[in-house]
Structure 1
């Protein structure tokens, strides 16, 4: 199992657009073999940082999903929300292996 953690620097004035972007990707990850754990939006503290976490059974499964970027019309449309609104200023992906209570 592999979890992708995406750290976003967002434009806090465009949080509504970022939420629309997030809703689109939550649905797409679920339909393409992953489990989305949600987007975590600013509440207190830094107002320009957000996170997304989603899991795939393996890195190979994640790569199958990633191959759709720039090709699949739904993926292109979801990214268009980000690109046209300017809600995301920067993002960085990190891959982690979860240690869960069920692993104890």
Structure 2
């Protein structure tokens, strides 16, 4: 199991646009076999940082999702929406594995 952590630097004047973008991706991750753990938008503190977490059974499954997303019409619509609205300034992606008892 691998969880992808995305840290976005967003335009705080385009929070509404970013939230729409986030809501586009939740069902798409699920469509490709992942489990979306949610987006987390600014509340207190920094007004330009947002997070997302989603989990796939393996890094290979995540990589397959990434490859498939570039050929999926709904994913391309989401990518284009972010580009058109310029709600995302930058992002970084990291991967984590859970530790359980």
- Per the TM superposition, whether the score is higher than 0.5 is yes
Q: TM-score range by the shorter chain?
A: over 0.9
Distance across 2 between alignment mates of 1:35 and 1:72: 18
After superposition, give the CA deviation of every residue in 1:69-97 in whole Å (9 maximum; x if it has no partner).
Answer: 33211110011111100000000000011
The DSSP-based 3-state class of the residue aligned with 1:39 is: strand
Structure 1 residues 1-12: aligned runs within 5 Å: 1-12=1-12
Correspondence 1:39 to 2:39: yes
Unaligned runs of 5+ in 1: none
Runs (4+) of structure 1 exceeding 2 A deviation are none
Aligned CA RMSD, in angstroms, stands at 0.8
Q: Secondary structure at the match of 1:68?
A: helix
Gaps of 5+ in 2: none
TM-score (norm 2): 0.96
Q: Separation in 1 of the partners of 2:70 and 2:83?
A: 13
Count of aligned pairs between the two proteins: 101
Task: Give distance in 1, aligned partners of 2:96 and 2:68.
Answer: 22
2:61 pairs with 1:61: yes
Distance 1:69 1:8 in 2: 19
Hey, what does 2:18 align to over in structure 1?
18
d(CA) in 1 for partners of 2:33 and 2:86? 28
- Aligned-pair CA distance for 1:6: 0.3
